[in-house]
Structure 1
Amino acid sequence: MKRAVTIAIAMRIIIDRPVPGVAYSLQAKDGHPLDPARARDGEALAFDFVVRVGPGPRFFGDQVRPEGPVRRFVYVRIGQAAGDPASPWSRRMKVDLHDIDPDLLARAACGGILVTTVCGTGRDGSPACATVPVLRRALVAR
Protein backbone atom coordinates (compact mmCIF):
# COMPACT_ATOMS: atom_id res chain seq x y z
CA MET A 1 0.00 0.00 0.00
CA LYS A 2 1.35 3.41 -0.98
CA ARG A 3 1.82 5.88 1.87
CA ALA A 4 -0.12 9.15 1.52
CA VAL A 5 1.79 12.39 1.15
CA THR A 6 1.69 14.46 4.34
CA ILE A 7 2.48 18.09 5.12
CA ALA A 8 4.11 19.17 8.39
CA ILE A 9 2.17 21.84 10.27
CA ALA A 10 3.45 23.68 13.32
CA MET A 11 0.90 23.64 16.13
CA ARG A 12 0.64 25.38 19.48
CA ILE A 13 -1.79 24.66 22.29
CA ILE A 14 -2.32 27.57 24.66
CA ILE A 15 -3.74 26.73 28.07
CA ASP A 16 -5.54 29.93 29.08
CA ARG A 17 -6.16 30.37 32.82
CA PRO A 18 -4.30 27.27 34.03
CA VAL A 19 -4.57 26.53 37.75
CA PRO A 20 -1.60 28.32 39.40
CA GLY A 21 1.12 26.02 40.75
CA VAL A 22 -0.09 22.98 38.81
CA ALA A 23 2.16 21.20 36.28
CA TYR A 24 0.91 20.75 32.70
CA SER A 25 2.62 18.94 29.81
CA LEU A 26 1.99 17.40 26.44
CA GLN A 27 1.94 13.61 26.38
CA ALA A 28 4.92 12.08 24.58
CA LYS A 29 4.66 9.24 22.09
CA ASP A 30 5.54 6.74 24.83
CA GLY A 31 2.77 8.10 27.10
CA HIS A 32 5.04 10.02 29.48
CA PRO A 33 4.99 13.78 30.19
CA LEU A 34 6.85 15.92 27.66
CA ASP A 35 8.45 19.19 28.85
CA PRO A 36 6.23 19.91 31.89
CA ALA A 37 5.59 23.54 32.78
CA ARG A 38 4.15 24.90 36.00
CA ALA A 39 1.37 27.45 35.80
CA ARG A 40 1.99 30.85 37.38
CA ASP A 41 -0.81 33.12 38.51
CA GLY A 42 -2.32 34.93 35.54
CA GLU A 43 0.00 33.43 32.90
CA ALA A 44 -1.08 31.17 30.06
CA LEU A 45 1.01 28.12 29.14
CA ALA A 46 2.00 27.25 25.56
CA PHE A 47 3.09 23.92 24.10
CA ASP A 48 4.53 23.66 20.58
CA PHE A 49 4.62 20.50 18.46
CA VAL A 50 4.38 19.40 14.84
CA VAL A 51 1.72 17.28 13.19
CA ARG A 52 1.70 15.76 9.73
CA VAL A 53 -1.54 16.16 7.84
CA GLY A 54 -2.59 13.96 4.96
CA PRO A 55 -5.65 13.84 2.73
CA GLY A 56 -8.97 13.57 4.47
CA PRO A 57 -7.64 15.34 6.52
CA ARG A 58 -5.80 12.69 8.53
CA PHE A 59 -3.48 13.65 11.37
CA PHE A 60 -0.21 11.95 12.32
CA GLY A 61 2.58 12.71 14.78
CA ASP A 62 4.14 11.84 18.11
CA GLN A 63 1.49 13.71 20.11
CA VAL A 64 -1.51 12.70 17.97
CA ARG A 65 -3.82 10.11 19.52
CA PRO A 66 -6.58 8.24 17.64
CA GLU A 67 -10.06 7.42 18.83
CA GLY A 68 -12.22 5.61 16.30
CA PRO A 69 -11.86 6.04 12.57
CA VAL A 70 -11.95 9.87 12.50
CA ARG A 71 -11.30 11.47 15.88
CA ARG A 72 -7.74 12.67 16.52
CA PHE A 73 -6.62 14.64 19.56
CA VAL A 74 -3.65 15.63 21.71
CA TYR A 75 -3.44 14.84 25.43
CA VAL A 76 -2.35 17.51 27.90
CA ARG A 77 -1.25 15.87 31.14
CA ILE A 78 -1.95 17.60 34.46
CA GLY A 79 -0.55 17.35 38.00
CA GLN A 80 0.75 13.87 38.84
CA ALA A 81 0.16 12.83 35.22
CA ALA A 82 2.51 15.69 34.19
CA GLY A 83 5.25 14.38 36.49
CA ASP A 84 4.46 16.19 39.76
CA PRO A 85 4.02 13.48 42.43
CA ALA A 86 3.03 16.08 45.08
CA SER A 87 0.04 17.34 43.10
CA PRO A 88 -3.45 16.52 44.41
CA TRP A 89 -4.57 16.04 40.76
CA SER A 90 -3.78 13.42 38.16
CA ARG A 91 -5.67 14.31 35.01
CA ARG A 92 -5.51 14.59 31.26
CA MET A 93 -7.37 16.87 28.90
CA LYS A 94 -8.14 16.05 25.28
CA VAL A 95 -7.67 18.79 22.70
CA ASP A 96 -9.36 17.77 19.44
CA LEU A 97 -7.60 18.15 16.09
CA HIS A 98 -9.99 16.38 13.72
CA ASP A 99 -12.45 19.29 13.74
CA ILE A 100 -9.99 21.97 12.54
CA ASP A 101 -11.50 23.90 9.64
CA PRO A 102 -10.02 22.62 6.34
CA ASP A 103 -9.47 26.22 5.10
CA LEU A 104 -7.41 26.98 8.22
CA LEU A 105 -5.40 23.78 7.70
CA ALA A 106 -4.73 24.75 4.08
CA ARG A 107 -3.45 28.19 5.13
CA ALA A 108 -1.32 26.60 7.89
CA ALA A 109 0.28 24.31 5.30
CA CYS A 110 1.74 27.45 3.69
CA GLY A 111 3.47 28.53 6.91
CA GLY A 112 2.85 29.94 10.34
CA ILE A 113 1.72 28.26 13.54
CA LEU A 114 -1.82 26.96 14.02
CA VAL A 115 -2.75 28.01 17.56
CA THR A 116 -5.54 26.35 19.55
CA THR A 117 -6.56 27.99 22.82
CA VAL A 118 -8.40 26.12 25.58
CA CYS A 119 -9.31 26.97 29.18
CA GLY A 120 -7.18 25.24 31.81
CA THR A 121 -9.57 25.66 34.75
CA GLY A 122 -12.86 23.84 35.22
CA ARG A 123 -16.04 25.39 36.61
CA ASP A 124 -15.16 24.14 40.10
CA GLY A 125 -11.74 25.85 40.04
CA SER A 126 -9.75 22.63 39.61
CA PRO A 127 -7.80 21.79 36.43
CA ALA A 128 -10.01 21.17 33.40
CA CYS A 129 -9.97 17.59 32.16
CA ALA A 130 -11.56 15.22 29.64
CA THR A 131 -12.49 16.80 26.30
CA VAL A 132 -12.16 20.57 26.57
CA PRO A 133 -13.91 22.99 24.23
CA VAL A 134 -11.73 25.07 21.94
CA LEU A 135 -11.98 28.78 22.78
CA ARG A 136 -10.38 29.87 19.50
CA ARG A 137 -8.15 28.76 16.65
CA ALA A 138 -5.95 31.08 14.64
CA LEU A 139 -2.95 31.07 12.35
CA VAL A 140 -0.06 33.23 13.56
CA ALA A 141 3.30 34.09 11.98
CA ARG A 142 6.38 32.22 13.15
Structure 2
Amino acid sequence: MARADQTEIPMRIVIEQPVPGVFHSLQSGDDKILDPKRSTAGEPLAFDFPVRIAPGPKFFGDQVRREGPERRFVYIRIGQSAGDCLSPWTRRMKIDIHDIPQDLLDRAAKGDGVVELTVNGTGKDGTPACATVRPVGRRIA
Protein backbone atom coordinates (compact mmCIF):
# COMPACT_ATOMS: atom_id res chain seq x y z
CA MET A 1 0.00 0.00 0.00
CA ALA A 2 1.36 3.42 -0.94
CA ARG A 3 2.44 5.69 1.90
CA ALA A 4 0.13 8.37 0.50
CA ASP A 5 -2.80 6.19 1.60
CA GLN A 6 -1.43 5.92 5.16
CA THR A 7 -1.80 8.25 8.13
CA GLU A 8 0.90 8.44 10.78
CA ILE A 9 -0.32 8.41 14.37
CA PRO A 10 1.61 8.54 17.63
CA MET A 11 1.54 5.51 19.91
CA ARG A 12 2.83 4.85 23.40
CA ILE A 13 3.27 1.64 25.35
CA VAL A 14 3.38 2.11 29.11
CA ILE A 15 4.74 -0.77 31.16
CA GLU A 16 3.35 -0.57 34.68
CA GLN A 17 5.08 -2.40 37.51
CA PRO A 18 8.18 -3.47 35.58
CA VAL A 19 10.63 -5.61 37.54
CA PRO A 20 13.11 -3.06 38.97
CA GLY A 21 16.55 -2.99 37.37
CA VAL A 22 15.58 -4.96 34.26
CA PHE A 23 16.19 -3.33 30.88
CA HIS A 24 13.25 -3.02 28.46
CA SER A 25 13.38 -1.67 24.90
CA LEU A 26 11.31 -1.40 21.77
CA GLN A 27 12.21 -3.75 18.95
CA SER A 28 12.78 -1.96 15.68
CA GLY A 29 12.87 -3.92 12.46
CA ASP A 30 13.50 -7.61 12.89
CA ASP A 31 16.15 -7.44 15.58
CA LYS A 32 17.25 -3.92 16.55
CA ILE A 33 17.15 -2.59 20.11
CA LEU A 34 15.56 0.87 20.36
CA ASP A 35 15.40 3.18 23.40
CA PRO A 36 16.51 0.81 26.18
CA LYS A 37 15.57 1.87 29.70
CA ARG A 38 15.00 0.37 33.10
CA SER A 39 12.96 1.17 36.16
CA THR A 40 14.95 1.64 39.35
CA ALA A 41 12.06 1.22 41.81
CA GLY A 42 9.20 -0.21 39.75
CA GLU A 43 8.08 3.12 38.25
CA PRO A 44 6.35 2.85 34.86
CA LEU A 45 8.35 2.82 31.62
CA ALA A 46 6.99 4.52 28.49
CA PHE A 47 7.94 3.95 24.86
CA ASP A 48 6.75 6.37 22.16
CA PHE A 49 6.83 5.52 18.47
CA PRO A 50 4.94 6.33 15.27
CA VAL A 51 2.65 3.91 13.46
CA ARG A 52 1.11 4.35 10.04
CA ILE A 53 -2.47 3.24 9.54
CA ALA A 54 -4.49 2.65 6.41
CA PRO A 55 -8.15 1.73 5.95
CA GLY A 56 -9.04 -1.66 7.34
CA PRO A 57 -7.33 -0.75 9.61
CA LYS A 58 -3.93 -1.90 8.45
CA PHE A 59 -0.78 -1.08 10.44
CA PHE A 60 2.70 -0.23 9.20
CA GLY A 61 5.94 1.01 10.74
CA ASP A 62 9.40 0.07 11.97
CA GLN A 63 8.03 -1.40 15.21
CA VAL A 64 5.03 -3.20 13.68
CA ARG A 65 5.41 -6.97 13.32
CA ARG A 66 2.95 -9.26 11.59
CA GLU A 67 1.59 -12.74 12.09
CA GLY A 68 -0.90 -14.04 9.57
CA PRO A 69 -3.15 -11.82 7.47
CA GLU A 70 -4.52 -9.67 10.31
CA ARG A 71 -2.53 -9.89 13.53
CA ARG A 72 -0.19 -6.94 14.10
CA PHE A 73 1.84 -6.38 17.24
CA VAL A 74 4.83 -4.62 18.79
CA TYR A 75 7.65 -6.36 20.63
CA ILE A 76 9.16 -5.08 23.87
CA ARG A 77 12.56 -6.68 24.41
CA ILE A 78 13.57 -7.59 27.99
CA GLY A 79 16.87 -8.26 29.76
CA GLN A 80 19.57 -9.66 27.48
CA SER A 81 17.26 -9.10 24.50
CA ALA A 82 17.22 -5.38 25.44
CA GLY A 83 21.02 -5.19 25.56
CA ASP A 84 21.80 -6.11 29.19
CA CYS A 85 24.27 -8.98 28.88
CA LEU A 86 24.26 -9.50 32.68
CA SER A 87 20.50 -10.04 32.96
CA PRO A 88 19.25 -13.51 33.85
CA TRP A 89 16.33 -13.00 31.41
CA THR A 90 16.14 -13.09 27.62
CA ARG A 91 12.53 -12.32 26.80
CA ARG A 92 10.09 -10.37 24.67
CA MET A 93 6.57 -9.10 25.26
CA LYS A 94 4.22 -9.29 22.30
CA ILE A 95 1.62 -6.52 22.50
CA ASP A 96 -1.23 -6.68 19.98
CA ILE A 97 -2.21 -3.49 18.19
CA HIS A 98 -4.54 -4.85 15.48
CA ASP A 99 -7.48 -4.79 17.89
CA ILE A 100 -7.19 -1.16 18.99
CA PRO A 101 -10.69 0.36 18.79
CA GLN A 102 -11.28 2.38 15.63
CA ASP A 103 -12.45 5.43 17.57
CA LEU A 104 -9.03 5.71 19.27
CA LEU A 105 -7.25 5.45 15.92
CA ASP A 106 -9.55 8.10 14.42
CA ARG A 107 -8.96 10.48 17.33
CA ALA A 108 -5.18 10.07 17.11
CA ALA A 109 -5.31 10.62 13.33
CA LYS A 110 -7.18 13.91 13.94
CA GLY A 111 -4.45 15.02 16.34
CA ASP A 112 -6.39 14.55 19.58
CA GLY A 113 -3.46 12.79 21.27
CA VAL A 114 -1.43 9.61 21.53
CA VAL A 115 -2.88 6.09 21.45
CA GLU A 116 -1.63 4.74 24.77
CA LEU A 117 -1.61 1.04 25.63
CA THR A 118 -0.82 0.05 29.22
CA VAL A 119 0.48 -3.40 30.15
CA ASN A 120 1.58 -5.02 33.40
CA GLY A 121 5.33 -5.63 33.34
CA THR A 122 5.51 -8.30 36.04
CA GLY A 123 4.27 -11.85 35.58
CA LYS A 124 2.41 -13.86 38.22
CA ASP A 125 5.71 -15.46 39.26
CA GLY A 126 7.34 -12.07 39.94
CA THR A 127 9.62 -12.18 36.89
CA PRO A 128 9.31 -9.91 33.83
CA ALA A 129 6.11 -10.52 31.85
CA CYS A 130 6.68 -12.12 28.46
CA ALA A 131 4.95 -13.77 25.51
CA THR A 132 1.59 -12.20 24.58
CA VAL A 133 0.74 -9.56 27.16
CA ARG A 134 -2.78 -8.15 26.98
CA PRO A 135 -3.23 -4.42 27.54
CA VAL A 136 -4.95 -3.49 30.80
CA GLY A 137 -5.76 -0.05 29.40
CA ARG A 138 -6.25 1.70 26.08
CA ARG A 139 -6.85 5.43 25.80
CA ILE A 140 -5.98 8.70 24.11
CA ALA A 141 -3.41 10.54 26.22
TM-score normalised per structure 1: 0.95
Q: Which residue of 1 aligns with 2:21?
A: 21
Aligned residues: 139
Does 2:138 match 1:114?
no
Deviation at 1:30, TM superposition (A): 4.3
Q: Identity across aligned pairs (percent)?
A: 62
Q: Does 1:97 align with 2:97?
A: yes
The equivalent of 1:86 in structure 2 is: 86
Q: Give the secondary-structure state (helix, strand or coil) at the position aligned to 1:81.
A: helix
Q: Which residue of 1 aligns with 2:139?
A: 138
Aligned-residue Cα RMSD (Å) equals 1.1
State the partner residue of 1:48.
Answer: 48
Structure 1: tracts of 5 or more residues without a match: none
After the TM superposition, which segments of 4 or more aligned residues of structure 1 sit over 3 Å from their partners?
none
Letter paired with 2:103: D
Does the residue aligned with 2:81 lie in a helix, a strand or coil? helix
| Secondary structure at 2:136 match in 1 | strand
Provide the TM-score with structure 2 as the length reference: 0.95
Q: Equivalent residue of 1:134, what SS?
A: coil
2: CA distance, partners of 1:121 / 1:108: 28
Secondary structure in 2 aligned to 1:115? strand
In the TM superposition, what is the alpha-carbon distance from 1:42 to its structure 2 partner? 3.0
